[in-house]
Structure 1
């Protein structure tokens, strides 16, 4: 029996040793495989790109409208293109298929942001929803926004705010028309957006319509977007940051402090109200109350987080929507037949006895097609907000190294003749028989981006753009204020977003039979 025991134990030991040897061999083979795979990856080439200058790379080739320059370069070097901006390696994506690879198939590898000095300064060291790296903090902020601002239930509950802001704007324009005044359409659209954001976020109109303070705030918003979007030598060559050769860093700090003081004032006023025993906390809460409640309930939210959310809302929620409305009206005024067709549809569906409402949009297919065509030709963020590669990966057989900055040329995709027929022609009809949409699944049309970092404000933006453009066309006929120019100037000014270089100014005339 004892010999049997030793025999069994010896067999077990042999088997165990064999198993250990086999496991060790498998582990060794696995390590060799990983090393070979790593070497193969490292030996892969970068995507092709234009030769650059020593030290400064391709900066001279970008010009003051990088989205246009990069689109032209992509025609030669392809839809995945490498450029050097100083010491920074950047990937430029310029086709729907490659956009799908980056923003969908490899979304997790590209879910963080590449933040420059301006973005870190304005976004409280890059901790806001727009600029924070992908991770728990970003997921928390996104969840709060999704639940408390952009959920269908919340947006439906705030429909009266949108209607009030638009109706008030129409009334102001009616007064302008009676006085023979010219209307700055972008400015008027900005005030609608600003009034709405103020009421959604903190239940107050932050600035009075038409006031000098409101005009100044609009300039401040654009300055943020411009400073965040233009190349800064301090970003491209970090050892130059202390010198601030362009003076951009100091401008950024001063502007950020102005916003910070405004947000501090709004928050402090609310905290005083909340401390008052007469304050009714059972009333419908705005976004600020919800954020303060979460902070007081012991979540990870700080006052800086709240101010960062304000920054995102007041910047992204005002300029992008108002800019899109201005581009839409500019295109329509250049195409009177298209404009008349939208008005005819409005007359058929809504009539002139009442004002257009959000519910009408579902029955206005041509208006919806017009808005899609504007999104195609004039995406608010032409190069998307830059992402970065959190780790090295392979796209279409090319190596994308870790920390590569990634631009998706949304503007270029929308104007590519290999994607769109007659791409420079404003033609809403192309969308009447098409199922292409702009919500991140059809990569021919991604004005809001796609993937995890898709713009969270799509539901609000689409409601506002349709309602404002439709209301302007239902209530008024428009004639162009030419200012001695033969046609509407459609040139662009580049920043994180695109603005019309020359503001659109037009004269409104109330339409016959319209009931105001």
Structure 2
């Protein structure tokens, strides 16, 4: 048992240490200049990190309600501007988009994406503009997305058959697992030319890759704690996973260079290798750049697609009257056809409204990937310094009661009565970002989402296991850690 006197001595020493540390940090940090955005009180070393819960976007929403829609907080020593209103998002992603278009260099993505040779994390500049142009013009143009229509239709048909087999054996269907496999198979075929599933360790490597990319270690914000890297095993884990992924992609590229191919079946690696050959004498792209772009495609095309599909099906099952309205629309358009195709989707306004409403309530990335300011500027009269990180809370904006009637309610019909879209022109609704750093793969993502949801509601009626009531289905973020288990009954015309 520690004596009271010893405890008090330790406590007093700690208080004195923190007091002098705080004084030293204040004396050695640059004095703020001008009129700064509102800020919550912060602690020495930690800044405002102690005020962030497991759902950071929710914590920031609560702070913004007290301190305003444009708020300056600190993650350790890093100043971060938080935008939680459509007006602030417009100022950052449109009015001053150019000076807000840089990316901070994050240590883990830098190592996993070949020193940020990808599109998502590359710093703003000539290299990024060139690589993004390649993606927009050669990989993700409307014409190219349309060319993969057969892949999407075939894979969604296989998904339907898989669910039918499970239903025939009276087994519950893990919709999360089914939709995850679908997203992975579509992206594998489009990006790599074939599926890597059972019998391959690619899915396991990719899953660990995703976890690492989302990880921001404490020493990223508090350099004083960088000594912990010797003991937390993070560096070894990054090196191991990065090596495995690089070896896998190296084999993929070698196979593509050696194989015979048909012009009508070009995948992303084929297209990038063609571009590499055609520009070999001018401004070639390296193999590492090709690998980094492919990794971007998987990061943006699998995780976010699965998240969107899971939330959409969760909300439909939770709202059976909306599910029924959508089923009636899809089945009426399908008529006597066994399988709908992508042409049919244009006749389904309610389907599009359902997906928009799902993206509004549950944006796949609640906090858009951070930006970094490249020069001092003013935002709404506040002074913001160069080097400040910027995060846009699209989750909070899409639930702002001043912008949306009954913002917490799943009400797709609102989008039948308005022209608001998610392609970066309406800043109250930007689940894919906007401006120079907006997601270039919106068209591809939406094509997959619409076809999957349409085929699911066309072919099956869904209910929860063991007679659970649909209204009791949890729609908090914690629920997405659990698989969506359902009973899927085949629909008979």
State the TM-score, normalized to the length of structure 2: 0.88
Counterpart among 275, 279, 283 of residue 294 in structure 1: 275
Taking a change above 3 Å as real, the CA distance of residues 120 and 483 of structure 1, as seen in their structure-2 partners, is farther
Query: Which residue of structure 2 aligns with residue 465 of structure 1?
Result: 449
**Are 1:108 and 2:89 an aligned pair?**
no
Determine helix, strand or coil for the equivalent of 1:90.
strand
State the partner residue of 1:339.
323
Cα distance between partner residues in 1 of 2:208 and 2:467: 26
- Shift of residue 482, structure 1, vs aligned partner: 5.5
Is contact 1:221-1:319 (8 Å) kept? no
With over 3 angstroms needed to count, the CA separation of the structure-2 counterparts of 1:168 and 1:280, relative to structure 1, is closer
Identify the match of residue 43 of structure 2 among 35, 45, 53.
53
- The aligned counterpart of 2:395 is 411
Identify which range, 366-375 or 43-52, moves more after superposition: 43-52
Contact 1:116 1:228 in 2 (8 A): no
- Map residues 234-245 of structure 1 onto 2, 5 A cutoff: 234-244=219-229
2:381 is equivalent to residue 383 of structure 1: no
Q: Do the aligned residues in 2 keep the contact of 1:85 with 1:236 (CA within 8 Å)?
A: yes
Deviation at 1:352, TM superposition (A): 4.5
Bigger CA drift: 116-125 or 370-379?
116-125
- In the alignment, which residue of structure 1 is the partner of 2:173? 183
Partners of 1:408 and 1:164 lie apart in 2 by: 37
In structure 1, the partner of 2:485 is: 505
Which has the higher mean CA deviation after the structures are superposed, 262-271 or 283-292?
Answer: 283-292
Change (3 A) 1:228 1:359: same
Contact 1:491/1:501 (<8 A) preserved: no
Alignment-derived partner of residue 272 in structure 1: 258
Distance in 2, matches of 1:161 and 1:378, equals: 27
Match of 1:228 in 2: 213
Q: CA-to-partner distance for each residue in 1:5-24, whole Å, 9 max, x for gaps?
A: xxxxxxxxxxxxxxxxxxxx
Deviation at 1:252, TM superposition (A): 2.8
Query: For the residues of structure 2 that align with 1:153 and 1:170, how far apart are their CA atoms?
Result: 27
Q: Deviations over 1:226-262 (max 9, x none)?
A: 4333441221123433531644343333222222222
**In the alignment, which of 146, 164, 186 is matched to residue 156 of structure 1?**
146
SS in 2 for 1:446: coil
In 1, Cα distance between equivalents of 2:263 and 2:343: 29
* 1:112–1:388 CA contact under 8 A, matched in 2: yes
Cα pair 1:117 1:249 within 8 Å, conserved: no
Q: Does structure 2 conserve the Cα–Cα contact (< 8 Å) formed by 1:232 and 1:246?
A: no
Shift of 1:71: 0.6
Q: Scaled by the length of structure 1, what TM-score is found? A: 0.84
Supply the distance in 1 between the matched residues of 2:294 and 2:372 (Cα, whole angstroms): 24
Partner Cα separation in structure 1 for residue 322 and residue 456 of structure 2: 14
C-alpha change, 1:265 and 1:86, in structure 2 (3 Å) is same
> Please, which of 415, 433, 446 is the counterpart of residue 430 of structure 2?
446
Structure 2: gaps spanning 5 or more residues:
1-31
Change (3 A) 1:224 1:483: farther
| Matched residue, 1:248 | 234
CA distance in 1, matches of 2:466, 2:60: 32
2:476 aligns with 491
Aligned length: 458
Q: Alpha-carbon deviation of 1:160?
A: 0.7
CA displacement at 1:223 relative to structure 2: 4.0
Find the aligned partners of 1:98 and 1:467 in 2 and give their Cα distance.
Answer: 34
Q: Which runs of 4+ in 1 moved over 2 A?
A: 211-214, 219-231, 237-243, 245-258, 279-286, 293-297, 351-354, 481-491
Structure 2 distance, partners of 1:330, 1:482, is 17
1:393-425: per-residue Cα shift (whole Å, max 9, x none)?
111011111111110001111112222111111
Pick the structure with greater CA Rg. 1
Secondary structure (helix, strand or coil) at the match of 2:228 reads coil
User: Which sections of structure 1, spanning at least 5 residues, go unmatched?
Assistant: 1-41, 274-278, 494-498
Q: Residue 71 of structure 2 aligns to a residue in which SS?
A: strand
CA deviation map 1:296-335 (0-9, x unaligned)? 3313311110110111111211110111001100011000
Distance of aligned partners of 1:473 and 1:100 in 2 relative to their CA distance in 1, 3 Å threshold? same
Please say which of residues 53-62 and 359-368 is displaced more in the overlay: 359-368
Q: 1:475 is matched with which residue? A: 459
Deviation per CA, 1:147-191: give whole Å up to 9, x if none: 222111112222111111111111111111111122221221121
